Chain A
C-alpha cells in the first residue's frame, strides 16, 4: 500500500471539548484518539449524552475543540480560520443530520445542488450532478417536490444526496435514522450500504444496531471517551439484513 492510502482521511489526537466554565463545566469529549481510513465505514455508539454528536461536530469542523488535534487528509483543521473551515467543508466533509435540515422553500433538486453552487460550480453542472444523485437515491421522480411533500425517509435520502454533492472525502451522519420508522430506516440503510460499496468514507453516529452492523468498525463511547472498538466483518445488505431481521 502506498503512503497516501495509509494517511487517514480523518485523524484525531487527544481531542477534548468542554462546554461552559467553572463549576458547571461539562467535558463532552475527553481525550479521543481516532483514525478513519479512506473507504471505511465507522459506526459510533453510546448512551445518550456521552458526546457522540459533539465528537462528530469536532471532526467536521462545525465546532472547535478545547484541546487536541483534528486533521483532514493530513491537514490540521482545528486551528484554521472560519473561512478556511468553510472551504474545507465544501469538499472535505459533509453532514447528514437527524433532523434532515433541508431548506423548506427549496425543492429536492435545489436542495441537492446547493453545496455545489456554494462551492462555485456552474449552475448547469450543479443541476446535472444533483439530478444524478437523486437518481442514485431513487428519488428522480421527486426532484421538483418541496420537502414538505416528502416523507421522512425521502427527506433523509435527499439530505444524503446533498451530502454527496461535492464528492466529500468523508460523510458524517448523526443519527440519520433517528427520526425514521423501520421501513424508511431500511431505505437509508440500503443507501449507506451502496455508499460503502462505492468506497465512500462514512462515520455514522447511531443508536440503531442495524445501522451499526453495516460498518467496518464499531466504536463505543462513554462519558466523552472511546472505550471499545469492534471490528465487524460486515459485507452486504443481504447478509446483514437477514442477520438483523430486516429482511425475510
Chain B
C-alpha cells in the first residue's frame, strides 16, 4: 500500500514539477484521442449508414414499382397484389401512389416525386422522422438529403404542384436512395444526379434531379392531374433478406406493365456511393492526425526521459528498486493518458453530433451516432497504448541503468555533427547557435520536419478539394448541400490537424528550450544576448519547418492528393492544382505561423536566469 502511495506521489509530484510539459503532453494525446473518437463515431455513422437506416425504418427487402405505363392507361395494381402474396414474402406495405410534381421552397424550384402515405405507421418502410413529425393532410415530409439540399426546415411554407403546403417533417428511408441519386418511382422517368448540360438535353416530362417528399395518400392523389398518371410502390419483407436478389430476379416479368423490382442490396449500393467520399476524407484525416500524434508524443516522451534520468539515479541511490523506478515512470504517463482519453472522448462525442447531424442527409442516417462501448474502449486503449509503448522501454532501461551513470549525466548525450559545427562557425551568431541547437537533436529535427510536412500536405489537399467542391460540386458527383457538408468535414479535419500541429510545434520548441537550458545559459555566460539565444531556438524550429513545408507540398501533398484520387476513383484531371503563388504562400505562411508559435517558448528559453541554470548543473 505504502509502495503504491509512493509511486502515485512521485508521479504526481513530477507532473506538477513540469506543469507546462504536462499540459502539452495532455493536449497532444488529447488531440489524438479526440480525433480518434470523432473518427470512430463518424465511421460508425458512415460505415453502413444504409444498414442502420434499414434497421431503424424496418426497411424493405424488395421494392416493387408499377412499370412505365404508356398510353396513360390506369396502372394495373394486380401485378403488385400478386407479389404481396408470392412465396417468401412475409409482410408488405403499400401499394402507395406516387406522382411527379414541382416543389417551390424559399425561392428555389425542384422536381419532386410525391409519395402518398398513411398517417399510421407502416409495418415495412416506416421512414424515420429526424425532425418534426410524420404525414398529415396539408403537410409535407421531406427526405433528409433533399431537405438539406433545398435548405428547408420544419415549419417552412412550400408550394407543391401549385398548392401551399407546410413542411411538417424531415425523414430518412431505406426504400429509396437519398437525394441527389434518388430512385425513380414515377412512370415519366427521371434524370438523377445529372449536370446542367446533361439536363438541358432531356425530353419534356422527365424529372430533373427529383427529390422525394411524403404527403397523405389523399393529398398525393389530389396532386395528380389524372389517376392514370399515378405510379405505385410497394415494399416487401421477405422471410430471408439474403434471398432478396434472387427473389427480384425470379419475379421480374418481361411483359409490359409488369412491376419492376429492386432489392435492398441494389439500393444500398447506390445509397452508400456518396457517403464513401466522406468516409475517405475522414480516413485520411485520421491517418494524418495519427502520424502527427505519434510525432508529438515521441518528442514529448523522449524529451522528458532525458530529463528524468538523473531523478532515476537519485531514486535508486536512496534505495528504490528497479521495479519501483519503472512503476513511477509508467504511472506518470498512464495518468496523463487516462485523463487525455477521458477528455478526448468528451470532446470527440461533443463534436461528432455536429458533424453527423450536418451529414445526416448525405449519409442517410437517423439521429446522432451513439457513443458505443467499443469506441470508449478503443480510445482509452490507444491512449494507454501510446503511453505505455512510448514509456515502457525507456522506463525499463532507466530502471536497469547503473545508478552512478544515471546520477552522473544525461540519458541522451547531444549528438555531434562536425561538419555542421564547422559550417555554422561562418554564420551570424543566431544562426550559428540555432544550427548547433538543431544539430544536437537530429531525431527531433526529423520529427519536426515530418510533423510540418504532414500538416502541410493535409492543407495542400484540403485547398485542392475545397476549391473543387466550391467551384463545381456536380462535377465532383455531389450536390451543393453535400459539397457543403464535405467541406465542413474537411474543415473539422483541418482545424484538428492544425491544432495538433500547433501543439506539436510549441512543444518541440519548449522541449528544445528545456533541453538547451544549459547550453543557452552557457552561451549567454560567454556573451550571447538573450535575443540571440531566443532567435537561435526559433531558428532551430524554422529550418525544419521550412524543409517540412516544402516537402509537404511536394512530394507530400502531391502524392496524398493522387492517393486520395486513386482510391475514390476520382477524375484528377478535372481538378486544377494550386498555382505556384499559392504553394509559395502556403510555405511562407507555414514558416510565419511556426515563427509566431515558437516566439513565446523561444523567448522564455532565451531569458531563463543564467545563474540558476548553471547552479542547477552542480546539484
Interfacial residues, chain A to chain B (CB-CB below 8 A): 53, 57, 62-63, 82-83, 86-87, 89-91, 94-95, 97-99, 101, 103-106, 110, 113-115, 117-120, 123, 126-127, 146, 148, 162, 166
Contacting pair B610 A62 (CB below 8 A): yes
State A120–B429 Cα separation when bound (angstroms): 7
Minimum CB–CB distance from B615 to chain A (whole Å) comes to 8
Q: How many A-B residue pairs have CB under 8 A?
A: 82
Chain A hits for B532, CB < 8 A: 86, 118
**Secondary structure dominating the interface of A:** helix
B225 within 8 A of A: no
How far, in Å, is B259 (CB) from chain A's closest CB? 82
Query: Is B413 on the interface with A (CB-CB < 8 A)?
Result: yes
Contact assessment for A63 and B522 in the assembled complex, using a CB-CB cutoff below 8 Å: no
State whether B421 touches A119 (Cβ < 8 A). Answer: no
Q: Is there contact, CB below 8 Å, between B526 and A106?
A: no
Complex: A98 Cα to B415 Cα, angstroms: 24
Q: Which residue of A lies closest to B530 (CB)?
A: A82
Residue of B nearest to A84 (CB): B529
With A99-B617, A101-B617, A126-B425 already in contact, the answer to whether A118 and B530 are too (CB < 8 A) is no
Q: Are A118 and B527 in contact (CB under 8 A)?
A: yes
Q: Is B43 an interface residue (CB 8 A)?
A: no
Among residues of A, the one whose C-beta sits closest to the C-beta of B524 is A86
Residues of A within 8 A of B439 (CB): 105
- Of B525, B528, B607, the residue contacting A95 (CB under 8 A) is B525
A-B contact pairs, 14 of them (CB 8 A): A63-B609, A63-B611, A82-B607, A86-B527, A86-B529, A89-B525, A99-B614, A101-B522, A106-B421, A114-B523, A118-B429, A119-B527, A127-B425, A148-B413
Residue B440 at the chain A interface, CB threshold 8 Å: yes
Residue in chain A with minimal CB distance to B410: A104
Bound: A97/B610 CA distance, A: 13
B519 at the interface (CB under 8 A from A): yes
Query: Is there an interface contact between A166 and B413, defined as CB atoms closer than 8 Å?
Result: no
Q: Is B432 an interface residue (CB 8 A)?
A: yes
Q: Mark B511-553, 1 if CB is under 8 A from A, else 0.
A: 0000000110011111111111000000000000000000000
A126 to B424, CA, bound (A): 13
Q: Which of A57, A94, A98 contacts B526 (CB 8 A)?
A: A94
CB contact between A115 and one of B519, B526, B607, B618 (< 8 Å): that residue: B526
Give Cα A162–Cα B527 distance, bound, in whole angstroms.
12
Which of B421, B440, B529 is packed against the most chain A CB atoms within 10 Å?
A: B529
Query: Which of chain B's residues have a CB closer than 8 A to the CB of A91?
Result: 527
Contact present for B527 and A115 (CB under 8 Å): yes
* B residues less than 8 Å from A148 (CB atoms): 413
- 4 more A-B contacts (CB under 8 A) besides A53-B615, A99-B614? A101-B522, A115-B526, A118-B523, A118-B532
Those of B421-471 within 8 Å (CB) of chain A: 421, 425-426, 429, 432, 436, 439-440
Q: Which chain A positions have C-beta within 8 A of B609?
A: 63
Cα of A189 to Cα of B528 in the assembled complex, Å:
29
CB contact between B527 and one of A57, A89, A97, A98 (< 8 Å): that residue? A89
Q: Which 9 A-B pairs have the closest CB atoms?
A: A90-B527, A86-B529, A105-B416, A123-B425, A105-B414, A83-B529, A89-B527, A115-B526, A118-B527
Q: Do the beta carbons of B525 and A101 come within 8 Å of each other?
A: yes
Q: How far is the CB of B360 from chain A (nearest CB, A)?
A: 58
Residues B530 and A89 in contact, CB atoms below 8 Å apart = no
Contact A103 B614 (CB under 8 A): no
User: Among the listed A89, A97, A98, A117, which residue makes an inter-chain contact with B425, where contact means beta carbons less than 8 Å apart?
Assistant: A117
Q: A62-B610, A120-B429 are in contact. Are A105 and B527 (CB under 8 A)?
A: no
Nearest B residue to A57, CB-CB: B611
Is B529 within 8 A of A162, CB to CB? no
Residues of chain B lying within 8 A (CB to CB) of residue A118: 429, 432, 523, 526-528, 532
Which residues on the B side are within 8 Å of A103 (C-beta)?
519, 522
Q: How far is the CA of A139 from the CA of B593 in the complex (A)?
A: 47
Among the interface residues A57, A99, A104, A119, which one has the most CB atoms of the partner chain B within 10 A? A104
* Closest partner residue, chain A, to B421 (CB atom): A110
Residue of B nearest to A88 (CB): B527
Beyond A101-B614, A113-B425, whether A87 also contacts B525 by CB under 8 A is no
Question: Which residues of chain B come closer than 8 Å to A114, judged between CB atoms?
Answer: 523, 526
**Cβ–Cβ < 8 Å partners of B530 in chain A:** 82-83, 86
Q: Nearest A residue to B528 by beta-carbon distance? A: A118
**Residue in chain B with minimal CB distance to A113:** B425
A118–B436 CA distance with the chains assembled, in angstroms: 13
Cα-based distance from A205 to B416 in the complex (angstroms): 33
Known: A99-B618, A118-B429, A123-B426. A104 touches B414 (CB 8 A): yes
A101 to B425, CA, bound (A): 20
In Å, the complex CA distance between A166 and B528 comes to 13
| CA A63 to CA B525, docked complex, whole Å | 10
**A85 CA to B518 CA in the complex, in Å?**
19
Residues of chain B contacted by A57 (CB below 8 angstroms): 611
CA distance A98 to B522 in the complex (A): 13
**Nearest Cβ on chain B to A81's Cβ, whole angstroms:** 9
CA A82 to CA B527, docked complex, whole Å: 10
| Distance between A97 CB and nearest chain B CB, rounded to angstroms | 7
Residues from chain B with Cβ under 8 Å of A83 in the complex: 529-531
Q: With A87-B527, A89-B527, A117-B429 in contact, do A98 and B618 touch (Cβ < 8 Å)?
A: yes
A166–B527 CA distance with the chains assembled, in angstroms:
10
User: Which B residues lie within 8 Å of A123 (CB)?
Assistant: 425-426
Cα-based distance from A12 to B400 in the complex (angstroms): 51
B 558-588 to A, binary, CB cutoff 8 A, 1 in contact else 0: 0000000000000000000000000000000
Closest residue of chain A to B409 (Cβ to Cβ) is A104
| Contact of A62 with B429 in the complex, beta carbons under 8 Å | no
For the complex formed, measure the closest distance between the CB of A110 and the CB atoms of chain B, giving whole angstroms. 6
Which residue from chain A places its CB closest to the CB of B414 in the assembled complex?
Answer: A105
Complex Cα gap A118–B526 (Å): 8
Expressed in whole angstroms, the Cα–Cα distance for A83 and B607 within the complex equals: 11
Residues 596 to 619 of chain B near chain A (Cβ within 8 Å): 607, 609-611, 614-615, 617-618
Docked CA distance A89–B530 (Å)? 12
Is the beta-carbon distance between B432 and A117 smaller than 8 angstroms? yes
The answer to whether A62 touches B529 (Cβ under 8 A) is no
Report A86 CB to chain B, min CB distance, Å.
4
Residues on A with beta carbons closer than 8 Å to the beta carbon of B421: 105-106, 110
Bound Cα distance A98, B619 (Å): 12
B388-416 residues with Cβ-Cβ distance < 8 A to A are: 413-416
In the complex, the answer to whether B414 meets A162 with C-beta atoms within 8 Å is no
- Distance, CA A226 to CA B423, complexed state (A): 48
Contacting pair A146 B416 (CB below 8 A): yes
Complex-state Cα separation, A41 to B475, whole angstroms: 85
A127→B529 CA distance, assembly (Å): 22
The distance in angstroms between the C-alpha atoms of A62 and B524, with both chains bound, is: 9
Q: Shortest distance in angstroms between A126's beta carbon and chain B's nearest beta carbon?
A: 7
- Whether the Cβ atoms of B425 and A105 lie closer than 8 Å is no
Q: Which residues of A contact B527 (CB under 8 A)?
A: 86-87, 89-91, 115, 118-119, 166
Measured in the bound complex, the distance between the Cα atoms of B612 and A57 in whole Å is 11
State the Cβ distance, A102 to closest chain B Cβ, in Å.
8
Query: How distant is the Cα of A114 from the Cα of B519 in the complex, in angstroms?
Result: 12
Question: Complex: how many Å from CA A126 to CA B421?
Answer: 14
